[in-house]
C-alpha cells in the first residue's frame, strides 16, 4: 500500500485526549452558564452563501475568508458567529420571540497568516440579546453577570470586566469639537496601556493634529481612575454639555448600579474610559475582560451594544448586545503557561476495570454496576500480563484501577487502587463507587484554571 | 443600505430554537453514553489536507467532497469521521495508549445531490476502539451495549441491533466455491427485505450466474431465523467445513453470549445473516440498528470490525471496531414523523421572571436565586404591558412564568404560574424552585422520542 505522511494543517488545533477533555470542560462551563440565563443554543451551518456572508464586505474579512465553488454555488465558511446570527434572525424573524437570546459555541474560519498561537479554525462562544425595535438597557448589565459566571466557573477570581460606553466617548469628543477625528483619537488612546501617556500625547499632537489644550483634556479624561463610584463622580463634572454624553453617562450608571444586583462582586468589574471596541459597529456599552495576572493576553472576552444587527438582510431595526469568548486562543495560552490545573484528572474514564480471570462475566457486570452509579468506566478486555495492564492504566492516567480476581469475586468485592497515592482498598461495588465518586467530586471542586 | 435576501443553503439543517434544543438533548444522550464507557472525546479539524483525506480515493467520495485551494494549500472538508481518526491515530501513535477508545460527534460534509431528507452537512456520532496489532473480540460485544444505552436513553424500547459476522459469510461462500462471487452475492442478498426471496433467487441465477443448488443453499442459509440460540444452533450444522466460517461462528458466539452480561435485553439484539456492510472494509462482526416501527428508515446506526484502520498513513496493523449514528438524518426523520415528544418542554428557559414593578432589583435577585437552585431562568427586562409579557412567555413556550409585583415583594414571595395548566401558586423562592424543578424532572423522565 502506498503511504502518505499524516499531518494536521498548521493553524488548526488538534488536541491529545487529556487536553481535549480539559478543553471540553471549559466549553461545558460556558454552555451551562449561558443556558442558565435563558439563552437558547443555536447551531447554524459552517458553510453559507458567500454573497450573504460578505454582504458587509470589508478588507480583512474578504482576504481571510475560505471561499470556494461547488457546482454553481459560491460558498464560504463563516468567519464569525455574528453574521450567521444576523442572517438567522432576518430569515426566521416572524418565528422568533423578541427579545431573542441565543448562544452559540462553534468553530469559525479565517485564513490568516500562520503564526504561533494564531488559529485558522477556532471556537467562538457568543451570546447575544436581540430586540425588535427596542431593547432595554438592563440587558447591558446582565451580559457581564453572565461572563462573571463563566470565568468564576473556570475557578478564576483575578479577572476584571472593563465597561465603557461609546456615547460617553462620542459625546466627550463632540464637546471638544473633535467628532470627525474621534476615530483616529480612539485608536491612539487605545495604545495607552502599551506606550504610556507621553507617547499617546505626542501621537495626538503629531498624527491627529490636536492642539495642546485638546490633548491635555483627553489625557485628563482617560486618566480618570478609581472605584466605579469615583469614576462616575468624575464623569458627572462633564454632564450637561452634550446630550449624547449625558445619555451615555446615564446608561453607564444603570449598568454599574445593577451589576451588583446581578451578583457581580465590585472587584470583578471596572469602568474603563480607554476602551472603545469595533469603531463602526458598537454604539453604547462596550466590554473587555482581562485576566489580572496575564494582561499580556489582552481582552479574552469582548463585546458591546449595537443598534442594528441585520440591516443588510431585513428592513427592521434590530438592536442588540452581545459578547464573545475566543475559546481556542484562551485555551491555547492557558495551556502554554501551564495554568490548566493538573490536579484534576483528565483521563477518558474515572475507573479502569482490570479483570484477572479468564471469564469476563464478573468484570463486565462490575463495570456496568459502577456505570449505573454515574461513573465513566472502561473495561480492559485485552489478554495481557498484569504489568502491562497497570502500564496501560498509568499511560491513560485513570485515577482508579479496579482489580477483579478469583478472591475478590468469591467475596463479592473488588480491589480499588487509587493510582496517585497507591492506596488500595477491598470494597464491594457500592463502596467502590462511593470512594471513587467522592474522590472525583473533591477534584471537581478544584479550580480548572490556576492563578499564579 | 442595499439589502440581500437572507437564505440558508439547501441541504444544510438550520433549526428553530425549540427543535435545536431537542436535537442537542439527543446529542447529549449520545455523549453521556459514549463517555460512560470510557471513550475519550476528540474534536479533529473540519478542514484537512485534501491529499490526506483522499488517500484511499474512490468514486463517490471524490465527487462529493468539498475541496478548495487557499494560497498554495489543497484543502478539503472531512466527509466522515473515520479518515480523520485514522490520520489522528497514525500521527499521534506514540502518544496514545492502546486500545485507544474515542468518540466524536461532529459535522461532516458531502456535496450530494440536493434531495428531501438528504444533507450536505450532517452530524455523525462515532465510537471506535483501536488496538495496536491485536484487539480482543470482547470489544465487539461491548459496542452494541453502548448503542443500547444510547437508544434506550432516547426513551426507545422497540429497536433491535442486528449482528452478523463477515467471516461466517465469507466462509460460507467459500464452502460453496463462490469466494470470487461473494461480493456480488452479498449485494444481491442485501435486497432480500426489499424484493423478497423469489426475486433474490432469480437475480442469483441470472446476474450472479449461480447454479440452482447453490442458490437454494444460499436462500436456505439466509432464511435461518429464530432466537439467537436457534440461529447459532442452525449455524453449528455448517461447522467443520471451513476454517474462516468456524472462526466467525466462534466470534459470533462470544459476542452474543456476552451481550447479556453487558446488560442488553435479548429482544434488543438479533443475529441477522443477511447483513454484510461496506464490503471492502469490515472483516468480522458487523452491526445495523433498526427501529422496529420504522423499518423504512433502514439502519440508523451501523458499523463493524475492521483489520486495518490507518494503512494509508502508518506501517502498523491497527485493527478496530466502531459504529456510527447518523444523527442529523435520524433527527430529521423523527421530527418529520412527529415523534419528538412534545410533552417535554423545549424552551430556552425553565422559568421566565416577569417583574411588575419599576425597580428591577427584587426581580434580578429572584432570578439569581432560582438559577442557584439549578434552573435556567430568563429575566424579562423590557418595559411592556402585562398582556405583552404573557404573550412573550407563550411564544417562548416557557413552562413557568414567575410574576413579581409589589405584593409579592412585600411578602418575600412570588407568583409562579404553570403555563400549561394555568395553575398559579404564591411561593417563596425556595418553594418556587422546588415546584418548578419537580415538574421539570417529571417531564425529563418522559421518553424523548415517541413510539407509535
Instruction: Tell me the ipTM for this assembly.
Output: 0.96
User: Would you call B43 and A381 a contact, using CB atoms and an 8 Å cutoff?
Assistant: no
User: Would you call A40 and B17 a contact, using CB atoms and an 8 Å cutoff?
Assistant: yes
**CA–CA min distance B433, chain A (Å):** 13
Nearest CA in chain A to B34: A376
Interatomic CA distance for residues B17 and B13, integer angstroms = 13
The DSSP-derived string for A105-145 is: EEEEE--PPP-TT--SEEEEEEEEEE-SS---THHHHHHHH
CA angle A390, A393, A395 (to 5 degrees): 110
pLDDT at res. B295: 85
Q: Assign residue A117 a region: left if phi > 0, alpha if psi is -120 to 50, beta otherwise? A: left
Residues in chain A closer than 8 A to B21 (CB atoms): 40-41
CB atoms within 10 A of CB B4: 15
pLDDT at res. A279: 61
pLDDT at res. B116: 80
pLDDT at res. A297: 84
Residues in chain B closer than 8 A to A363 (CB atoms): none
Mutate: best of A19, A32, A40, partner B, most B CBs <10 A: A40
Residues in chain B closer than 8 A to A392 (CB atoms): 97
Q: What percent of chain B has pLDDT over 90?
A: 86
User: Would you call A138 and B360 a contact, using CB atoms and an 8 Å cutoff?
Assistant: yes
Residues in chain A closer than 8 A to B8 (CB atoms): 44-45, 48, 87, 91
Interatomic CA distance for residues B401 and A139, integer angstroms = 19
Alpha helices in B111-160 (DSSP H): 138-153
Residues in chain B closer than 8 A to A315 (CB atoms): 3
Whether B315 contacts chain A with CB within 8 A: yes
Count contacts between A and B (CB, < 8 Å). 251
**CA–CA min distance B6, chain A (Å):** 6
Whether A37 contacts chain B with CB within 8 A: yes
Distances (CA, A) of A24 to A347, B31, B303: 12, 12, 26
B296, pLDDT greater than 70: yes
User: Would you call B382 and A91 a contact, using CB atoms and an 8 Å cutoff?
Assistant: no
CB atoms within 10 A of CB B210: 22
User: Would you call B40 and A348 a contact, using CB atoms and an 8 Å cutoff?
Assistant: yes
Residue written as grid cell 418529520: B336
Q: Which candidate from B44, B71, B377 shows the least CB-CB separation from A14?
A: B44
Nearest CA in chain B to A359: B258
8 Å CB contact between B194 and B180: no
Residues in chain A closer than 8 A to B261 (CB atoms): 360-361, 364-365
Nearest CA in chain B to A394: B97
Residues in chain A closer than 8 A to B5 (CB atoms): 313
pLDDT at res. B281: 84
Q: Which candidate from B12, B17, B136 shows the least CB-CB separation from A383?
A: B136
pLDDT at res. A31: 98
Residues in chain A closer than 8 A to B381 (CB atoms): 136, 138-139, 142
Residue written as grid cell 448503542: B147
**CA–CA min distance A333, chain B (Å):** 19
CB atoms within 10 A of CB B413: 18
B114, pLDDT greater than 80: no
B452, pLDDT greater than 90: no
Nearest CA in chain A to B68: A68
pLDDT in tens for each of the 452 residues of chain A? Answer: 678 999 999 999 999 999 999 999 999 999 999 999 999 999 999 999 999 999 987 677 888 999 999 988 999 999 999 999 999 999 999 999 999 999 999 999 999 887 887 899 999 999 999 999 999 999 999 999 999 999 999 999 999 999 999 999 999 999 999 999 988 898 898 888 889 999 999 999 999 999 999 999 999 999 999 999 999 999 999 999 999 999 999 999 999 999 988 989 999 999 999 898 766 789 999 999 999 988 888 899 999 999 999 999 999 999 999 999 999 999 999 999 999 999 999 999 999 999 999 999 999 999 999 999 999 999 999 999 999 999 999 999 999 999 999 999 999 999 999 999 999 999 999 999 999 999 999 999 999 999 87
Q: Which candidate from B20, B120, B395 shows the least CB-CB separation from A43?
A: B20
CA quadruple A209, A213, A217, A223: dihedral positive or negative? positive
Q: Which candidate from B49, B314, B396 shows the least CB-CB separation from A97?
A: B396
8 Å CB contact between A283 and A167: yes
Q: Which candidate from A14, A135, A376 shows the least CB-CB separation from B36?
A: A376
CA angle A374, A375, A381 (to 5 degrees): 130
Task: Please report, in angstroms and rounded to a whole number, the separation of the first and last CA atoms in chain B.
Answer: 51
User: Would you call A262 and B364 a contact, using CB atoms and an 8 Å cutoff?
Assistant: yes
Nearest CA in chain B to A384: B136
B259, pLDDT greater than 70: yes
Residues in chain B closer than 8 A to A102 (CB atoms): 17
Amino acid at each position: 500500500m502506498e503511504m502518505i505522511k499524516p499531518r494536521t494543517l498548521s493553524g488548526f488545533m488538534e488536541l491529545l485526549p487529556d487536553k481535549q477533555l480539559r478543553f471540553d470542560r471549559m466549553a461545558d462551563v460556558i454552555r451551562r452558564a449561558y443556558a442558565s440565563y435563558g439563552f437558547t443554543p443555536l447551531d447554524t451551518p459552517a458553510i453559507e452563501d458567500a454573497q450573504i456572508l460578505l454582504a458587509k464586505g470589508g478588507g480583512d474579512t474578504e482576504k481571510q475568508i475560505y471561499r470556494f465553488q461547488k457546482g454553481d454555488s459560491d460558498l464560504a465558511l463563516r468567519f464569525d458567529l455574528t453574521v450567521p446570527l444576523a442572517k438567522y434572525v432576518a430569515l426566521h424573524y416572524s418565528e422568533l420571540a423578541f427579545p431573542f437570546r441565543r448562544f452559540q459555541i462553534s468553530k469559525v474560519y479565517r485564513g490568516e497568516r500562520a503564526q504561533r498561537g494564531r488559529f485558522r479554525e477556532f471556537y467562538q462562544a457568543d451570546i447575544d440579546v436581540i430586540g425588535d425595535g427596542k431593547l432595554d438597557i438592563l440587558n447591558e448589565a446582565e451580559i457581564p453577570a453572565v461572563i462573571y459566571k463563566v470565568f468564576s466557573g473556570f475557578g478564576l477570581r483575578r479577572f476584571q470586566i472593563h465597561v465603557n460606553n461609546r456615547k460617553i466617548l462620542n459625546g466627550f469628543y463632540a464637546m471638544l469639537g473633535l467628532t470627525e477625528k474621534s476615530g483616529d483619537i480612539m485608536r491612539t488612546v487605545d495604545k495607552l496601556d502599551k506606550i504610556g501617556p507621553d507617547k499617546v500625547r505626542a501621537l495626538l499632537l503629531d498624527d491627529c493634529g490636536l492642539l495642546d489644550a485638546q490633548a491635555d483634556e483627553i489625557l485628563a479624561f482617560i486618566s480618570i481612575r478609581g472605584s466605579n463610584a469615583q469614576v462616575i463622580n468624575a464623569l458627572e463634572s462633564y454632564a450637561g454639555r452634550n446630550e449624547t454624553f449625558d445619555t451615555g453617562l446615564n446608561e453607564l450608571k444603570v449598568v454599574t448600579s445593577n451589576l451588583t444586583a446581578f451578583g457581580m462582586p465590585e472587584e470583578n468589574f471596572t469602568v474603563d474610559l480607554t476602551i472603545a471596541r469595533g469603531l463602526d459597529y458598537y454604539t453604547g456599552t462596550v466590554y473587555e475582560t482581562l485576566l489580572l495576572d496575564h494582561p499580556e493576553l489582552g481582552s479574552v472576552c469582548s463585546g458591546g451594544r449595537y443598534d442594528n444587527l441585520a440591516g443588510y438582510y431585513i428592513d427592521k431595526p434590530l438592536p442588540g448586545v452581545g459578547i464573545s469568548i475566543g475559546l481556542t486562543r484562551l485555551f491555547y495560552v492557558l495551556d502554554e503557561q501551564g495554568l490548566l490545573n493538573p490536579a484534576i484528572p483528565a483521563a477518558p474514564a474515572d475507573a479502569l476495570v482490570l479483570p484477572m480471570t479468564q471469564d469476563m462475566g464478573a468484570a463486565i457486570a462490575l463495570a456496568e454496576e459502577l456505570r449505573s452509579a454515574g461513573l465513566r468506566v472502561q473495561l480492559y478486555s485485552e489478554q495481557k500480563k498484569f504489568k502491562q495492564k497497570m502500564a496501560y492504566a498509568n499511560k491513560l492516567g485513570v485515577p482508579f484501577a479496579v482489580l477483579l480476581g478469583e478472591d475478590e469475586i468469591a467475596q463479592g468485592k473488588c480491589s480499588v487502587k487509587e493510582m496517585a497515592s497507591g492506596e488500595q482498598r477491598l470494597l464491594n461495588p457500592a463502596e467502590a463507587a462511593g470512594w471513587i465518586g467522592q474522590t472525583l467530586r473533591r477534584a471537581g471542586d478544584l479550580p480548572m484554571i490556576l492563578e499564579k
